[in-house]
């Protein structure tokens, strides 16, 4: 009996490492959730920027791309404007 | 300069009040004028853990509402000089605490020359917990080696660094990880998250590890902060936490399984 229970114990899964693995996946996921949440002012900002840009350049609606990226110490607002080909 | 420290966790039952009582008593024993405030409005318990439940006349909410002065509400500890307790109210009014009221109490404590103001947070992420952390300069995040506690700690860390006053002003709240109810034997057996695992996941500096210990229950039974039990491992571990908080370099204790004396050890050891 003692011998069998010894083997049984060997097979038992290490639950602590399982806990760590699950937590790491979960927390990485939860963090990406909050960082992908764009600020509420973004659509309005994009709209107003378009108006300003169109004063100077003729661009399509999809030519302006506004994106917020969360960094460790600061967030960056990325503004990407594709200019029309100059002739 | 006085400092405001919040003791928080997100999850309930992990040892916030026990830790607040021990930490505040430890700071006071080192000669610092310390106030510990119970933010758990409606479920006051710090008074009981500190053994001053029969001396409560006025509470935190009475002071905020101007029904009592801070001096009247603060309970001076009879065991440790420099230690004062501000009990929570038993009101069921959820909005009893407000930013202005809490700020005025904290400011008055600062003006009265308190070195440390320890805020014992309620569980959860609602108003009381938010009020407890809002004015914090530093945070002690109490975590059990258990999945739900670690996850909740991560959540509360996020809130600390986005919604506290310091964070709103562009700064960072200094974070300390305090692991409680730790069992080195179970960690060795692979059934409990190790302190390294928890640090890996939360990635904040460790201020101490409190071993699972019967003395914690004995201390709360008798209304003495466990740090006063100099014989117990938990008491000694809290003493180390206070020393580390004050900048001393103290090695961790009670984090390895106690050596079992085996047959050969008994013979030859």
pLDDT, tens only, A14-43: 999 999 999 999 999 888 765 555 667 777
The verdict on a CB contact (< 8 Å) between B201 and A17 is no
Look at A47 and B82; give whichever has higher pLDDT: B82
The verdict on a CB contact (< 8 Å) between A17 and B190 is yes
pTM score of the predicted model: 0.82
Q: Give φ, ψ of B154 to 5 degrees.
A: -60, -40
Instruction: Report CA-CA distances (Å) from A14 to A46, A49, B56, B194.
Output: 51, 55, 48, 12
* Interval B92-134: pLDDT, tens: 887 899 999 999 999 999 999 999 999 999 999 999 999 999 9
Helix (H) or strand (E) holding B197: helix B195-202
Q: Chain B, 127-146: which have a CB under 8 Å from a chain A CB?
A: 146
* Interval B227-250: pLDDT, tens: 999 999 999 999 999 999 999 999
User: Which of B257, B135, B157 lies closest to B205 in space, CA to CA?
Assistant: B157
Residues of A with CB under 8 A from a CB of B: 14-17, 19-20, 22-24, 26-27, 30, 34
From the CA of B188, how many Å to the nearest CA of chain A? 10
User: Which of B88, B175, B186 lies closest to B136 in space, CA to CA?
Assistant: B175
Q: Which residue spans within chain A are E strands per DSSP? A: 64-70, 75-81
User: Which of B95, B55, B48 lies closest to B74 in space, CA to CA?
Assistant: B55
Decide: B210 and B226 in contact? Cβ < 8 Å: no
Checking if the pLDDT of B195 tops 90, the result is yes
From the CA of B151, how many Å to the nearest CA of chain A? 7
């Amino acid at each position: 009996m003692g011998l069998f229970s010894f083997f049984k114990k060997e097979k038992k899964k290490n639950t602590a490492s399982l806990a760590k693995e699950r937590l790491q996946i979960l927390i990485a996921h939860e963090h990406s959730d909050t960082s992908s949440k764009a600020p509420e002012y973004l659509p309005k900002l994009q709209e107003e920027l378009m108006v300003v840009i169109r004063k100077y350049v003729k661009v399509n609606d999809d030519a302006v791309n506004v994106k917020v990226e969360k960094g460790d110490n600061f967030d960056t607002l990325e503004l990407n404007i594709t200019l029309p080909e100059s002739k | 300069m006085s400092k405001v420290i919040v003791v928080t966790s997100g999850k309930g039952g992990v040892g916030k009040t026990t830790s607040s009582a021990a930490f505040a008593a430890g700071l006071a024993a080192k000669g610092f004028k310390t106030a510990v405030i119970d933010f758990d409005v409606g479920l006051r318990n710090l008074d009981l853990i500190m053994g001053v439940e029969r001396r409560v006349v006025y509470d935190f909410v009475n002071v905020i509402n101007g029904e009592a002065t801070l001096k009247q509400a603060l309970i001076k500890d009879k065991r440790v000089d420099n230690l004062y307790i501000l009990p929570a109210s038993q009101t069921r009014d959820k909005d009893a605490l407000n930013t202005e009221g809490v700020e005025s109490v904290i400011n008055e404590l600062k003006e009265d020359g308190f070195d440390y103001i320890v805020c014992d947070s309620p569980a959860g992420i609602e108003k009381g917990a938010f009020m407890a952390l809002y004015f914090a300069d530093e945070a002690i995040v109490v975590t059990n080696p258990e999945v739900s506690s670690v996850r909740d700690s991560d959540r509360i860390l996020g809130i600390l660094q986005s919604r506290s006053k310091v964070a709103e002003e562009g700064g960072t709240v200094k974070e300390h990880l305090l692991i409680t109810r730790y069992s080195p034997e179970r960690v060795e057996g692979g059934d409990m998250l190790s302190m390294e695992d928890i640090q890996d996941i939360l990635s904040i500096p460790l201020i101490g590890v409190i071993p699972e210990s019967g003395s914690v229950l004995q201390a709360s039974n008798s209304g003495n902060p466990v740090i006063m039990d100099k014989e117990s491992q938990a008491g000694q571990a809290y003493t180390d936490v206070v020393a580390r908080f004050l900048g001393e370099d103290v090695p961790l204790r009670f984090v390895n399984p106690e050596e079992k004396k085996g047959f050969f050890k008994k013979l030859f050891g």
